[in-house]
Structure 1
């Protein structure tokens, strides 16, 4: 369940224009199946977006490794976090949830960047 919330949050934060639900003309008993299909599709998009983000992180990590720049840039992460919290508020998401989400993404990004410095 938390992953599905994370999926929706990342899409909102990245400004991908999350499509709003449209009127359904199907029988009520199909509603759950239809909404689950939507969630599955959104989850797939979320993973694709995160994959693309991490590919960019690798490029940044290579640059940082070549130029002896530390992986952790606290001021930059604080900017990302502040922007994310504001975007999340507009989508009705709590600051705590957005903070947890961005911390998880940032942790993975730092892991990727640090792994590039070892090589």
Structure 2
């Protein structure tokens, strides 16, 4: 029988470990290339990503930009757009821009 490891809570303002920094940089690279799904995936590999303010902001922005790029595409799937906007709001609920666009998306489908 092995012992279970306790999850460490990140101290507020604690720097990222070298392991976490590699995922952070990888995510930034994908974000800058417009590969939002890959960026989100990289950043979500960092434990406690939602609790790190800067990282939560980046993930929310990636979901927002993913929603906008889906909207601009020919196959605009409103369900996917709304899902991405909900995720943006989940990571950064105090941002009025994400809430506004979520409201617009619901208005577009008459809900």
**Structures share fold, TM-score greater than 0.5:** no
Higher RCO structure, 1 or 2 (CA under 8 Å, sep 6+): 1
Q: TM-score, normalised by structure 1?
A: 0.29
Bigger share in helix: 1
